[in-house]
Structures are given as structure tokens and as C-alpha cells.
Amino acid sequence: MPVSGQFCSGTEPKLYSLSERASTLILSEVPSISWNFMNVNEVSVLASFGRFFIWIGGKANKEKKFMALKFDKLIKRRPGYKKTVWVLDGLENDLNTEDRETFQKYLPPDSKMVKMDAPCEDVSLNQTKTRKMTKLYNVMEGEEDSKIIAHVKNGPLEQSDLNGMVTCIINHVQNMVWIWVSKRASEEERSRAINVGVGYQGKKCEPASFQSFNVTVARAIEGEEPAEFKMLFRRWIDTLHANGQLYFSKKVSGCVNSLINAEQLENSPFMAAETQLFDYGGGVMKICKVIGDKLQPLSAEEYGIFHCSYSYLVCYTYKVYGEERKILYYWLGSDAPQNEKESCIWPSLVDIPDLRNAIARVRIEQFHETPHFHQIFQGKIIVLTRHVAQLLGSAKPALDEYQTLLLKVVGGDACNCLSLEVEPVASSLSSDSVFILRTRKANYVWCGLSSKGDEREMAKRIANRWASHYSVLLEGGETSDFWQALGGRQNYSTQKPETKAEVSVPPRAFKCSLADGNLRVSEINNFEKSDFGLCNTIVLDAWRVIYVWTGGAVPQEDKLRSEEVAFEYLKTDPCGRCLSIPIIQVYGGQEPPAFRGFFKSWKFDLDSEFIFDDEYVEYVESVPPQCAVEPLPSQLNVEENKVEVKVACVDVIDKKTFPPEQLQWKGVDELPTSIDTENREKHLTDEDFLRVFGISREMFKKQPAWKQKNMKKSVGLF
């Protein structure tokens, strides 16, 4: 049944189901007004001559409730609107007499029989369970113009698996069927590729799954493969960029070392995303070794020296336009206890004042450090591997306890360099690398003939850390003392390293949920900022790093589980990537430029979405909250039996207000209970706000975050 164009002042009552796709509200009319079309997990809307009864199912989640609030804000701006009535499942009789009689006229309580079906996300759950399953088939010519489809292998897939094939089928089970066509295929084979895929879909392999889900059949041409296709493979090299450079090239990082500061990265988020830097590394850090559930501080002399058997917490603080920002790094050694790798330390850090309010929390494993982590140590990280007795019983790195220390220098720039301890014997050397040999008598920098000049320069910087004098030896020009320190000459690797082209995959965003302990994943195509809802947990897969973004209305316990979401996402990745990829947790309203740079545009005026308080999630259990009264831009499109509504972000003003004297210049313990201690200004009336700040609330929100913070400090509200 089509929806009337005069939606608010229609000539007859109608029942709708309310849903949301990305940032678009979808109001779908059901066949008739009946309890049979209402679901305990969903939100329904009964429209009756300008009055709207918004019925909230008893098991509707927080996201559904915020969706209902958005709809309420929008509909109030429509011509003919009269009233919104909130109706809770099971409390229909608690309405006032007039509203109760109107509601029960169409939905009598004695015939109530709502659906108890699980929400539609359960379908995506089944898809997620098989998300990592891929199958490769070769399509060959048969007799009488027929096709032979032969199974080649199951995933994970390699790009080399496509070599020698003209046409192949990749079945991403219960998700998508890809038909890949090589450049050697004829025009007829290319044009018939889709027909082959459709025929396969109906006859081959898992027909039951295809009957249950709407599986898409798509074609990919060699050399023009989309990102969704490339991400089915462990490693994909674009043929047009076979001579690709490393991800963090010398050109970019060299510029960062000398020119770029935090303010420039703040204003150039695309560069920040490309380099994955937060600043140039000139901030202040505190480092602790993790021992069980305790943190053991290290002295400044020990900074940058890690042991592979331990985990470390690095709290890095830098300034942007005078405002302090913190990043927490959790570094895991390759031999650290497994329970430290599998569990997250963040819950135990919540109550530590110095570690609060971090804009990002980064989990990194040895050999998978991010460029910024390298940068804050200026590329001078040393990773020890031997279990020296003095080291195990002390917080000190105990470098002096080593009679002989041999370090292999990996990387040629401050953004990617570290030194790894190897066994101090000649067989550990290799012609393609640079090594630092430290003994009681002398220090050496040994340069293999195939090593790079950048690596040699970085090795000299690292050697300067503890030695004012060292000898630089080129392979073939070693002294007898050098060989003696390594226990004599031995054979070592002299092969030249293979030059590997770098993988280039565009970022993708996935809406994720861990409801009931099961991961649900749905991709957000052509993602933009408005797709990141305040109730959402979203994984932004940038290939070399995984960002987990949590909205402002996500409960604290769910935020602490965001790392678990990233792990589950990686485990179900069809290309079989390792689980050691850095995981960066960021939060709505505090996104660093290295995250914002993955978006085509970023509008700060949308950040008002993130100031919802948790108590507003329960708004339907009391009364609707008082909302900001600015007109909201909206667009209604009537199309058959649905109305799609594009809703701007809604700013909610806290209904609990206090006099300024109860909020200003007070410690946290002195403040009234049940207030947002980080945003005290939200508890001022509009009149008090104008008197305290000298500007209106609306003007205040238009100021950048750093300026808002300084203004709050100046009036004692921080």
C-alpha cells in the first residue's frame, strides 16, 4: 500500500515498521494494523491523524531506541504533526485515558500477539560464520559449447592461484560469487562470464545456501579488480604497480622527520592517514613493564629497550595547539605469556588517572609496530631475546651484563627501524643487513655488501646510544678482533633479498556486533562519517592497521570488548591475515587525524551526535528528553510503500541542571552525583551558560575542541 504524500495528516491510520540503513531511516508500511506485524525486537509506528504512537519492543536494543528518537525529532518538523506518544511493550495500559483509548482502538490488548523472532541481524550472523570460507573453481571448455567447472582449492587464496586460468569462479560462501576473467579471454568469453556464474549459482556446490541468501554474482576483469575482490587473497599486487615502494617510503618519512608537526597533521588528515603518524615523535612518554596485573615503571635510561618475553605499556603525550593528547600503546613481545596476548589489559587501567582520556589505544606485537611507535623512539628500539638472569630479576635492561651483544638492524628510517638481538656468532650475519656488535673492548657497525645506505645510517645512530666510538666495517674488511668476538669465522647467508611489491588495498568499513558472544559483520559501502552512529562499533580495515571505532553511546563494557571485536574480525577474514596486525581503538568525538584521513570529507559540525549520555538510552522508560530546537534539515522521498528519511545528527541537552556554583572550581568528589564530570557545561541552563561563558551554547559548540577545552578551564568547568 503506497504511503500518502501528506504523511502527518493522512486520511487513515497506518502502521509502519521502523528500521535504519547507514544514516537513513526507513519507514515501511505493513499490510494492516495488527499485532501480528509487530516484533518484540523492533520499533513500530502507529500514525493516526497527526498523532504518532512509537511502540518500543521489550527486547529492542539501544540502537533501536536512538533510532526512534531520531524519527521523533524529524517528524516534529513535518506539516500536520500534532503529538508523539511513547508506548512501551507491556505498558500499553499506562497511557493517559485519551491516548490509551486511541491506541487500543486499533491495537486492542486482548488480541496482542507480537512476534518473538530474533532480529534480522541473525541472518548476518550465519553469513559471518562462513565469511572466511572461499572456494576457487577453474572454468574450462567442454564438449558442445558446455563448460566444465573444476574445484581447485579452498581458501585462503593466493594471487598466483589465478595464473594459467582464463576464467575462474571464486565462491565467497553465502556472500558473493565472483567470476574472474583474464586478459587472454575472448570477447565472447567475457560477455558470457556472468551467465557462467549464474549457472554455477543454481547448480553447483552449496545450493541450499544460495536459496537462503541473496547471493550476488559479479565479474572482475584482470587488472581492474575491485577492493572487495582483492581482499579475498592473502596478498594482492597490482600489476600496474609491480615496482611498488614500501608503504612508508623514505620520501614521506624523511619529510616527517624534519618538517611535519602535530598541527600540520591535524590540518592534513590525508597525510596523517598515509603515514599513520600522530605527530613527529617529540612528545613525552612514560613506560611500564607489565608483570601480571601490575605495572612496573622504567627509568628514562631504559626507554626503547624491550625484552621479547614481556609486555610493556607506553603512555605517550603530545600537544596540538596547546592541548594535550594521550596515546596508549600496549607492546607484546613475541615470547610474552599467551594469556597477555589473548586478554586485554585495558579494563585494569580504567581507574588509573594518568591513563584516562586517551584518544587512541593501540595494541601492537613485536615486528608489527606502527610507524608512530617507531617514530617516538626515533627508530632506536632495541629488542632483546636472551634470558639473562640479571634481566629477569630486575626492571633494568642490563645491557652491561652482556659480554657480547649482536644486534640486527631492520629498517632504514625512524618510522620503521628497530634492532633485534641475534645469537652472537658469525653465522647470524647476512650480506643484505647491517649489524651492531657490542663487546667489553670495542664496538662495531658491520655493513653487508647488499645492505642499504639508510640502514647503515640508522645503525650508526643506534650505536651512538651507548658508545662514543665504534668502528664501521664493510663486509670483506673485517678485523681479526671482530671475528674473535663472534667465536671465529663461519658461513653466513650471502643471497640478495627479493624485492617485494607493496600491497595496496583501499580501506573498508564494517559494522560489527558481539551480541550473545557471536560476531555479526555487515559492510558499509562508500562509507562516510554519517554512517558511524553513536550506538555502533565499526571496524575500519586499513589493511596494515585495524581501527575499531566506538560511538559515544556504546556502553563502557562494550568499549572494553572492542579489541575482541577486531580479533574476531581478523579470524573470519577470508584472506587469512595474521592476528598480529596492529589494532587501534578510537572513540567518537576524539578521532585522530590518522583515522579521519580515510574519509573523503570530515565535518566537525556533526560531532554533536556524540554528546548523548547513557541515561538518554533509557529515555523511553521515563519521558522523552528535551531536545535542541534548531530546525533539522530533512528530506522525505515517497517511493511505493516506504519513506526514506535522511536525518541530521541530533544534539540532546541534559535535563538535569545545576547552579554554576555547584559545578565551577570543584573536584570530582565535590560534584553532584549523576553528572558528566568531563562535560560539566551540559548541566547549565541556557541562561547560566550564556552568563558563564559569555557566548551561547550553539556558538560554543561551533568552536574547535581545543578551544572549548581552554574555555572550560578558564571558567572552572574542567
Collapsed DSSP state (helix, strand, coil) of residue 265? helix
Identify whether residues 216 and 231 lie together within a single domain.
yes
Q: Specify if 395 maps to a domain.
A: no
Per-residue pLDDT, averaged over 281-300, amounts to 88
Burial-class residue 706 by CB neighbours within 10 Å (0-12, 13-18, 19+). Answer: middle
Burial-class residue 366 by CB neighbours within 10 Å (0-12, 13-18, 19+). Answer: buried
Cell of 172: 565467497
Could you say which DSSP state residue 245 is in? P
- When mean pLDDT is compared across 117-131, 153-167, 219-233, 463-477, the lowest value belongs to 117-131
Per-residue pLDDT, averaged over 347-361, amounts to 69
pLDDT computed for residue 119 by the predictor: 47
Cβ atoms within 10 Å, residue 23: 20
Q: At residue 313, what are phi and psi to the nearest 5 degrees?
A: -110, 125
Residue 699 to residue 711: CA distance in whole angstroms: 12
**Edge-first strand listing for the sheet containing 176-181:** 147-154, 134-141, 167-172, 176-181, 216-221
Identify whether residues 595 and 625 lie together within a single domain.
no
Identify whether residues 140 and 228 lie together within a single domain.
yes
Identify whether residues 553 and 626 lie together within a single domain.
no
pLDDT computed for residue 474 by the predictor: 95
Identify whether residues 131 and 233 lie together within a single domain.
yes
Q: What is the mean pLDDT of the chain?
A: 77
Task: State which residues form the domain around 215.
Answer: 126-241
Residue 563 to residue 566: CA distance in whole angstroms: 5
Q: Specify if 7 maps to a domain.
A: no
Strands 24-29 and 381-384: unpaired
Per-residue pLDDT, averaged over 32-39, amounts to 90
Q: CB–CB of 593/615 below 8 Å?
A: no
pLDDT digits (tens, 9 = 90+) for 392-443: 334 444 555 677 899 999 998 899 999 999 999 999 999 999 999 998 889 9
Q: Specify if 313 maps to a domain.
A: no
Of residues 1 and 588, the one with the higher pLDDT is: 588
Could you say which DSSP state residue 574 is in? T
pLDDT computed for residue 317 by the predictor: 94
Identify whether residues 705 and 664 lie together within a single domain.
yes
pLDDT computed for residue 484 by the predictor: 93
The contacts of residue 645 (CB under 8 Å, 6+ apart) are 24, 25, 26, 27, 71, 74, 634, 635, 636
Residue 578 amino acid letter: C
Residue 68 amino acid letter: A
Cell of 370: 606502527
The domain total for the chain is 4
Compute the CA torsion angle 424, 426, 427, 430 (nearest 10 deg). Answer: 100
Identify whether residues 91 and 175 lie together within a single domain.
no
For residue 667, give the CATH number of its domain: 1.10.950.10
pLDDT computed for residue 158 by the predictor: 85
pLDDT digits (tens, 9 = 90+) for 608-642: 443 434 444 444 434 333 332 232 333 333 333 33
Q: At residue 221, what are phi and psi to the nearest 5 degrees?
A: -100, 135
Q: What proportion of the chain, given as a percentage, has pLDDT over 70?
A: 75
Per-residue pLDDT, averaged over 219-237, amounts to 81
Q: CB–CB of 50/9 below 8 Å?
A: yes
pLDDT computed for residue 410 by the predictor: 93
Question: Looking at 178, 209, 241, which one is the last position of a domain?
Answer: 241
Of 96, 119, 152, 62, the residue nearest 518 (C-alpha) = 119
Question: Looking at 222, 241, 260, which one is the last position of a domain?
Answer: 241
Could you say which DSSP state residue 502 is in? P
Strands 381-384 and 404-410: unpaired
For residue 536, give the CATH number of its domain: 3.40.20.10
Residue 651 amino acid letter: D
Cell of 89: 511493550
Cell of 381: 628500539
pLDDT computed for residue 681 by the predictor: 86
Q: Specify if 474 maps to a domain.
A: no
Identify whether residues 27 and 101 lie together within a single domain.
yes
Q: Residue written as cell 592461484?
A: 161
Identify whether residues 105 and 193 lie together within a single domain.
no
Q: Specify if 104 maps to a domain.
A: yes
Of 674, 556, 532, the residue nearest 610 (C-alpha) = 532
Confidence at 567, pLDDT banded by 50, 70, 90: confident
pLDDT computed for residue 501 by the predictor: 59
Q: Specify if 310 maps to a domain.
A: no
Residue 203 amino acid letter: K
Confidence at 699, pLDDT banded by 50, 70, 90: confident
Q: Specify if 497 maps to a domain.
A: no
Collapsed DSSP state (helix, strand, coil) of residue 97? helix
The H-assigned helical ranges of 516-646 are 556-560, 562-571, 593-596
Residue 644, pLDDT above cutoff 50: no
Residue 140 to residue 143: CA distance in whole angstroms: 10
Residue 107, pLDDT above cutoff 60: yes
Q: What number of CA atoms fall less than 13 Å from residue 113's CA on the CB side? A: 4
Of residues 176 and 258, the one with the higher pLDDT is: 176
Identify whether residues 671 and 698 lie together within a single domain.
yes
Residue 202, pLDDT above cutoff 70: no
Identify whether residues 627 and 677 lie together within a single domain.
no
Residue 415 to residue 504: CA distance in whole angstroms: 19
pLDDT digits (tens, 9 = 90+) for 245-270: 323 333 344 444 445 688 888 888 99
Q: CB–CB of 642/83 below 8 Å?
A: no
Identify whether residues 24 and 114 lie together within a single domain.
yes
Q: Specify if 570 maps to a domain.
A: yes
Question: Looking at 241, 260, 295, which one is the last position of a domain?
Answer: 241
Q: Which of 6-20, 68-82, 479-493 reaches the highest mean pLDDT? A: 479-493
Q: CB–CB of 212/127 below 8 Å?
A: no
Residue 302 to residue 312: CA distance in whole angstroms: 12
